[in-house]
Chain A
């Protein structure tokens, strides 16, 4: 499916002085799908996206975006690419309509077409009642819709969204993702970065980044199925003590507290893990009830970044 891929990178690397922000990244992102970059802050998501948009020059490696070599053909790519920055980057002292009209003119849309397109977008993103309002006075969700409308105004084939929902309430986030799936349905390739697990789960394809490296990639279901650990959840009156005790258990690869529960990733070789862990805790005077839980993307993320730690 290499010909069909929207984005292909080989050994893509970016250094800022001594620091390696993106380290030998090999990616293949399919067309007309929502692909996600999952990773903590500073893992290289934004830097990778900026390189793919031609805003940063790679220190090494190569990237092909929509069949164009980046950054060499960045100017040509810009006509086919929509980019939504992490920070709201439209003009706060311009109205909603003025912002969109400015972008339409910058993209060289003929006047009549620009007017029609702006009207369509205002209606589509429920911004028509706010058309005359200054962008700086919009709510987080409205700003997000305006930014997305601005990014797709010139009908790009590829949409790159850098943490688009970090400042948005849950309902707006859901609406926003509905809009993304609509666009993917119409054939737009979408690359979105997030640190929300629920958003990551919605992606068709997922790439997990950690400190500049690609640590796991695939469909979310496949990633969950491939989790090398068993997930055990324990209810306890003393969750903090339980977690501390479990971390010293050789078969436990990681343990995290979730309110009154402790979630542990356990070596699958351990027989009857629920009984074994309950027993280990009881020996330390901690009462707990254990059960097997379904793996989540967070577990996948923890497992993937842990194996990296062992390497280094």
Chain B
């Protein structure tokens, strides 16, 4: 019938850019969300637990009791900020949330240390917070006081963290944030793109023009591809400047691979836009697609620890593949060829969602 016209694609893309320029809130979101989230999470999210507020009740009043408390303090995992006179008082502090860890040293701590048949002391932990609980467990494995230097039994394993030797959280967090922000903003921008035209009544006019579904879809995606790259660059730039994010692989490789993730997320948004009846529905659907992505992609919880069906499901999500790409290229210095196994699922996702969106979008009102 009529051929695919680049002039029409360009007209749609130009129009989208004009909307963006006039819509200050969305314009601010483009730069604001990456800036805010990277700064906030880069500084705030810290998986190395340090300086938990702790209280100590030393019922023994002995040298060993003080050593035990000093050793716990020396780990830096806890800060002994409170001193209690009894177990009950310590429990009260825990219950009121004044402390999250309580160290209870029994009166017979010296005998216990000598006889070694029972644990020397008790740790009272706020078990409601899994991360605090995990950190406190680490304290349990402390060698007993008095075992110092050569006499200390050597640990079974020596832990070495590759790629992030100092185990700084920001190095993990920033690439992850990059994916999470794009998975949210890219989908959201296009999810409201068509539904907004329908709500404002523009669609009835648009579908009586010769513009084709494919031209409309491509034209709507194009400006956001550029915006996606702006966001990626902002986040990476902040990561390098503020958090010493190492970029070990080729930036060009990363930008090419990231493009696959950007277009896959954009077409997911378009598909949502053809399904939603209102902008509010589009928002809801976007978040419905977003939550499983951050939960199952390996951003929040280790991918290998999930049950198999959850892993299969996660393989569908664009974010899962992007996280492997960004961690691979940026952190481990992988090449584009190394991440090919992540590229074709993204390509497939893009092709299927684009086809579905174009099929769903009919130039009809019924």
Known contacts A105-B11, A108-B7; A92/B207 CB under 8 A: no
Residues of B within 8 A of A105 (CB): 7-8, 10-11, 14
From A57, A91, A107, B202 is in contact (CB under 8 Å) with A91
The answer to whether the Cβ of B168 comes within 8 Å of any Cβ in the partner chain is no
The answer to whether the Cβ of B204 comes within 8 Å of any Cβ in the partner chain is yes
Residues of B within 8 A of A87 (CB): 201, 204
Residues of A within 8 A of B18 (CB): 93-94, 98
Q: Given A89-B202, A98-B18, list of 15 further CB < 8 A pairs?
A: A55-B364, A56-B365, A57-B364, A75-B2, A79-B210, A81-B208, A88-B201, A91-B15, A91-B202, A93-B19, A93-B22, A98-B15, A103-B209, A106-B210, A108-B210
CB under 8 Å from chain A, chain B span 1-49: 1-2, 5, 7-8, 10-12, 14-15, 18-19, 22-23
How many chain B residues sit at the interface, stated as a range, is: 20 to 34
The answer to whether the Cβ of B166 comes within 8 Å of any Cβ in the partner chain is no
Which chain B residue has the least Cβ–Cβ distance from A77? B208
Q: A57, B366: Cβ atoms under 8 Å?
A: yes
Mask of A295-312 contacts with B, CB within 8 angstroms, 1/0: 000000000000000000
CA distance A56 to B12 in the complex (A): 24
Residues of B within 8 A of A76 (CB): 1
The answer to whether the Cβ of B234 comes within 8 Å of any Cβ in the partner chain is no
Which chain B residue has the least Cβ–Cβ distance from A94? B18
The answer to whether the Cβ of A50 comes within 8 Å of any Cβ in the partner chain is yes
From B19, B205, B363, A89 is in contact (CB under 8 Å) with B205
Known contacts A50-B365, A102-B15, A105-B7; A75/B204 CB under 8 A: no
The answer to whether the Cβ of A78 comes within 8 Å of any Cβ in the partner chain is yes
The answer to whether the Cβ of B211 comes within 8 Å of any Cβ in the partner chain is yes
CA distance A128 to B259 in the complex (A): 42
Residues of A within 8 A of B118 (CB): none
Residues of A within 8 A of B206 (CB): 106
Q: Which 6 A-B pairs have the closest CB atoms?
A: A105-B11, A89-B205, A93-B22, A87-B201, A83-B208, A89-B201
Known contacts A89-B201, A93-B18, A93-B22; A106/B209 CB under 8 A: yes
Count A/B pairs, Cβ under 8 Å: 83
From B8, B11, B210, A75 is in contact (CB under 8 Å) with B210
Residues of A within 8 A of B208 (CB): 53-55, 78, 81, 83
Residues of B within 8 A of A53 (CB): 208
Known contacts A79-B210, A85-B201, A88-B201; A93/B23 CB under 8 A: yes
CA distance A150 to B364 in the complex (A): 20
Q: A55, B11: Cβ atoms under 8 Å?
A: no
12 example contacts (A-B, Cβ-Cβ < 8 A) are as follows A55-B365, A57-B364, A74-B363, A75-B1, A87-B201, A91-B200, A93-B18, A106-B8, A106-B12, A106-B210, A107-B210, A150-B205
CA distance A103 to B7 in the complex (A): 11
* Chain A contact surface mostly: loop
Which chain A residue has the least Cβ–Cβ distance from B10? A105
From A54, A92, A98, A106, B200 is in contact (CB under 8 Å) with A92
The answer to whether the Cβ of A200 comes within 8 Å of any Cβ in the partner chain is no
CA distance A55 to B365 in the complex (A): 5
CB distance from B200 to the nearest CB of A (A): 7
Q: A89, B366: Cβ atoms under 8 Å?
A: no
CA distance A165 to B40 in the complex (A): 53
Residues of B within 8 A of A234 (CB): none
CB distance from B213 to the nearest CB of A (A): 11
CA distance A53 to B200 in the complex (A): 20
Q: A106, B211: Cβ atoms under 8 Å?
A: yes
From B8, B19, B22, A108 is in contact (CB under 8 Å) with B8
CB distance from A243 to the nearest CB of B (A): 40
Q: B15, A89: Cβ atoms under 8 Å?
A: no
The answer to whether the Cβ of A90 comes within 8 Å of any Cβ in the partner chain is yes
Q: B11, A106: Cβ atoms under 8 Å?
A: yes
CA distance A92 to B196 in the complex (A): 12
CB distance from A204 to the nearest CB of B (A): 24
Which chain A residue has the least Cβ–Cβ distance from B216? A106
Residues of B within 8 A of A55 (CB): 204, 207-208, 363-366
CA distance A35 to B5 in the complex (A): 35
CB distance from B197 to the nearest CB of A (A): 9
CB under 8 Å from chain B, chain A span 227-270: none
Which chain A residue has the least Cβ–Cβ distance from B21? A93
CA distance A54 to B204 in the complex (A): 11
Which chain B residue has the least Cβ–Cβ distance from A84? B205
CB distance from A22 to the nearest CB of B (A): 13
CB under 8 Å from chain B, chain A span 33-83: 50, 53-57, 71, 74-76, 78-79, 81, 83
CB under 8 Å from chain A, chain B span 23-80: 23
Q: B19, A91: Cβ atoms under 8 Å?
A: yes
A71, A79, A98, A106 — most chain B CB neighbours (10 Å): A106
From B5, B205, B211, B366, A83 is in contact (CB under 8 Å) with B205
Residues of A within 8 A of B366 (CB): 55-57
CA distance A52 to B5 in the complex (A): 26
CA distance A9 to B200 in the complex (A): 31
CA distance A87 to B202 in the complex (A): 9
Residues of A within 8 A of B203 (CB): 89
CA distance A22 to B222 in the complex (A): 41
CB under 8 Å from chain A, chain B span 198-243: 200-211
CA distance A87 to B10 in the complex (A): 26
Which chain A residue has the least Cβ–Cβ distance from B19? A93
Residues of A within 8 A of B210 (CB): 75, 78-79, 106-108
